């Protein structure tokens, strides 16, 4: 068996040049092939090449270079062993050679031979060691196992020797005695190799392949199609003992291989996936910067439960905190179910019929929020009123200026109290719940949040020149309605989804494209603009249906039947009433232009006590500032 060549021949060129030694089978590297100098001879084609020994390089002629060498030297430099060399006065001819390596990076930094000679045959940057790629990780035999093997080997040797000795001396032991002589290896404790060489999730980096981590699966998505149904995938989320999480992705055949093997809540060893950057991590607060892409040769093995690894990684936000999140942010919530709407069928924009269910959750901040469930989650996830539930991975949405949450493919929930107890934030909620559970039904679902009293001037200042369409702000303003724009006061709406419906001449019915429902008569909803004024300025605001009714003091269904004179009367009466409005200001895109829009979300009843408190605080602050 030929020995592996690890170095170019030391001072090969010096030996050829200075000592004219053509007997040594030098190992040299071909750095360049000078194409214009090929020559045809009776023995074949000669190629003029620059060859190196790692310290120096010089021109040599090589006969019949193989096509594989010829095609590749631009990128990788082949290494050859010269089998037959002819040294003439001015040239060095390689008649026969064997290719050792076809694709190696340049060995060392060889100097032109003359320069090398001038430097007294030294080159500080020279090196003749051939570089070989290292394995991604070291396979280490377990030390104990190594010892035990060595012991066994030693034991065997001793036994063999003993037998031999016995044979030589002629004394033979009985079989029993022989067996006693062979002492079994006792009390050998084999340390499970599994927990060795485990990395933490925080130690992973992109491009890494040969790693091993230990973690619990805390999320598992359904198998999801992608690329127009040409492929499918599922994802999991893994948490380790350092409470770090990372997403794992399985595509196509790998998805099929591992989907049934993996269960939520169980602890596994994950080996030999590929670490990649998570392109979507900036959008999702719950996701790490990297992902694990599992491959066919990846190994996932179930192991015993590990108490050091969190079972439930919930980062609970109160419903009040959700006001401070941006649209599409992810969050975890914990609360009690106070309302469950019946499941309905919705026609989506992609003409897909989907189930939809809304439940309302309420927490210790005395706020309620709607959570929308879609598809299989709407159908399969069952909840009851007064049930305490924690959700992980809900997405923040905004519909008709009201904040809500929606489930995603990776959302999970937990209802088991024994599990909920382990979640951070559970105790605060549960104390509140125990004290107030009899009164929850009577508390309103909508926001009771108090915003500091603001002014129209402040709203305008905050939104001047802003085009960031994620900016959403709430303001409480005390103002008068001075003008209600009557051009469009109401619209024909779908009873189900409240969107605009169209009258179809042929069928003489009203059709909702969203729900795919037809109505004989439309439902009327207010949606109009008004101008409000306070001491600092005026503002055009939009009033949706519920607010429109509060302002005009008549339901839209009745209003639209009134005569024009009666309608005008209602409008006149609504003007110049001072109200306290909760306004949501946000940027909307219309005709590719981003503009701020201001919606009145609610009319707040005067709360004298807290108004006075607010006033006191403002006065105190003002006085302190001026003092």
Partner 1 sequence: MTDIPTSYQRINADMITKFKGQYVTLVGKLIQNKGDYVEFMVDGTIVKVTEIEEVPESNEDILLEIRGKLNDDGYLEAKEFTELDQTFDFELYKKVINMVQGQFRELFYD
Output the smallest distance, CB 607 to partner 1, in A: 10
Output the smallest distance, CB 452 to partner 1, in A: 17
Strands (E), 147-241: 212-220, 224-226, 231-239
Looking at the Cβ atoms of 325 and 604, the one nearer to partner 1 is 604
Output the smallest distance, CB 616 to partner 1, in A: 6
Looking at the Cβ atoms of 304 and 627, the one nearer to partner 1 is 627
Chain residues that interact with partner 1, rule: CB under 8 A:
608-609, 612-613, 616, 619-620, 623, 627
Looking at the Cβ atoms of 323 and 614, the one nearer to partner 1 is 614
**Could you tell me what percentage of the chain is helix, strand and coil, using 3-state DSSP and rounding each to the nearest 5?**
25, 35, 40
Looking at the Cβ atoms of 379 and 613, the one nearer to partner 1 is 613
How many Cβ atoms are within 10 Å of 189's Cβ, its own excluded?
6
- Cβ-contact 382, 415 below 8 angstroms: no
Output the smallest distance, CB 438 to partner 1, in A: 23
Q: What angle do CA 490, 494, 499 make, to 5 degrees?
A: 70
Output the smallest distance, CB 614 to partner 1, in A: 10
Q: Strands 353-362, 368-374: parallel, antiparallel or unpaired by DSSP? A: antiparallel
Looking at the Cβ atoms of 591 and 626, the one nearer to partner 1 is 626
User: How many Å separate Cα 410 from the centre of its chain?
Assistant: 11
Residue with tokens 């092939």: 33
- Cβ-contact 47, 60 below 8 angstroms: no
User: How many Å separate Cα 223 from the centre of its chain?
Assistant: 17
Looking at the Cβ atoms of 185 and 623, the one nearer to partner 1 is 623
Output the smallest distance, CB 570 to partner 1, in A: 33
CA R_g for the chain: 40
Instruction: Give the integer Cα–Cα distance in Å for 577 and 555.
Output: 18
Output the smallest distance, CB 613 to partner 1, in A: 6
Residue 182 backbone class (left: φ over 0; alpha: ψ -120 to 50; beta: rest): beta
Output the smallest distance, CB 605 to partner 1, in A: 13
Looking at the Cβ atoms of 385 and 450, the one nearer to partner 1 is 450
Instruction: Please measure the distance between the N-terminal and C-terminal CA atoms of the chain and give it in whole angstroms.
Output: 95
Instruction: Give the integer Cα–Cα distance in Å for 243 and 624.
Output: 46
Give the phi and the psi of residue 17 in degrees, each rounded to 5.
-75, -50
Output the smallest distance, CB 626 to partner 1, in A: 10
Looking at the Cβ atoms of 194 and 612, the one nearer to partner 1 is 612
**What does the DSSP 8-state code read for residue 429?**
H
Looking at the Cβ atoms of 171 and 608, the one nearer to partner 1 is 608
Output the smallest distance, CB 620 to partner 1, in A: 7
| Full 3-state SS string of 549-600 | HHHHCCCHHHHCCCCHHHHHHHHHHHCCCEEEEEEEEEEEEECCEEEEEEEE
Looking at the Cβ atoms of 150 and 620, the one nearer to partner 1 is 620
Instruction: Give the integer Cα–Cα distance in Å for 290 and 276.
Output: 6
Closest by CA position to 519, among listed 545, 486, 497, 535: 497
């Amino acid at each position: 068996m030929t020995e592996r060549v690890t170095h170019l021949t030391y001072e090969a060129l010096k030996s050829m040049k200075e000592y004219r030694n053509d007997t040594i089978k030098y190992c040299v590297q071909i750095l360049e092939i000078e194409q214009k100098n090929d020559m045809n001879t009776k023995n074949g084609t000669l190629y003029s090449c620059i060859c190196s020994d790692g310290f120096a390089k010089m021109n040599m002629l090589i006969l019949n270079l193989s096509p594989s060498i010829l095609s590749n030297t631009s990128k990788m430099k082949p290494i050859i062993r010269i089998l037959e060399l002819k040294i003439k006065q001015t040239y060095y001819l390689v008649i026969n050679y064997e290719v050792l390596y076809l694709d190696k990076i340049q060995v060392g930094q060889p100097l032109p031979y003359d320069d090398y000679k001038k430097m007294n045959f030294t080159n500080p940057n020279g090196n003749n060691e051939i570089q070989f790629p290292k394995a991604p990780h070291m396979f280490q035999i377990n030390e104990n196992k190594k010892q035990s093997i060595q012991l066994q080997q030693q034991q065997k040797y001793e036994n063999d020797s003993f037998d031999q000795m016995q044979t030589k001396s002629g004394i033979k032991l009985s079989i029993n005695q022989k067996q006693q002589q062979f002492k079994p290896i006792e009390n050998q404790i084999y340390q499970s190799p599994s927990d060795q060489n485990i990395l933490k999730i925080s130690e992973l980096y992109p491009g890494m392949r040969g790693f091993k981590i230990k973690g619990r699966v805390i999320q598992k998505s359904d198998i999801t199609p992608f690329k127009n149904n040409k492929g499918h995938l599922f994802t999991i989320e893994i948490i380790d003992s350092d409470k770090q999480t990372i997403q794992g992705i399985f595509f196509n055949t790998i998805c099929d291989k591992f989907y049934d093997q993996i269960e939520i809540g169980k602890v596994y060893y994950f080996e030999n996936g590929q670490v990649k950057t998570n392109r979507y991590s900036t959008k999702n607060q719950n996701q790490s910067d990297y992902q694990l892409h599992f491959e066919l040769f990846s190994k996932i093995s179930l192991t015993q439960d590990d108490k050091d690894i969190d079972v439930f990684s919930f980062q609970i936000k109160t419903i009040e905190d959700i006001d401070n999140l941006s649209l599409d942010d992810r969050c975890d919530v914990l609360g009690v179910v106070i309302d469950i709407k019946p499941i309905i069928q919705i026609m989506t924009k992609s003409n897909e019929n989907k189930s939809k269910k809304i439940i309302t959750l309420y927490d210790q901040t005395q706020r309620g929020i709607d959570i929308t469930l879609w598809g299989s989650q709407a159908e399969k996830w069952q909840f009851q009123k007064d049930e305490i539930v924690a959700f992980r991975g809900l997405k923040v949405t905004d519909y008709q200026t009201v904040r809500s949450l929606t489930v995603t493919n990776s959302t999970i929930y937990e209802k088991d109290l024994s599990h909920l107890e382990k979640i951070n934030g559970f105790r605060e909620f549960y104390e509140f719940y125990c004290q107030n559970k009899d009164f929850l039904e009577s508390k309103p679902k909508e926001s009771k949040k108090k915003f500091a009293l603001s002014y129209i001037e402040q709203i305008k200042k905050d939104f001047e020149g802003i085009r960031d369409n994620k900016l959403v702000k709430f303001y409480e303003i005390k103002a008068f309605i001075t003008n209600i724009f009557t051009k469009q006061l109401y619209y024909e709406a779908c009873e189900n989804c409240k969107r605009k419906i169209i009258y179809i001449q042929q069928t003489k019915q009203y059709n909702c494209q969203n729900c795919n429902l037809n109505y004989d008569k439309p439902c009327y909803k207010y949606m109009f603009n008004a101008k409000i004024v306070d001491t600092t300025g005026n503002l055009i605001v939009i009033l949706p249906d519920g607010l429109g009714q509060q302002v005009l003091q008549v339901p839209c269904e009745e209003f639209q039947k009134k005569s024009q004179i009666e309608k005008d009367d209602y409008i006149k009466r609504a003007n110049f009433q001072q109200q306290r409005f909760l306004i949501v200001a946000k940027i909307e895109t219309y005709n590719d232009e981003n503009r701020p829009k201001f919606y009145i979300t609610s009319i707040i009843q005067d709360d004298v006590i807290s108004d006075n408190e607010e006033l006191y605080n403002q006065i105190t602050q003002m006085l302190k500032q001026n003092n």
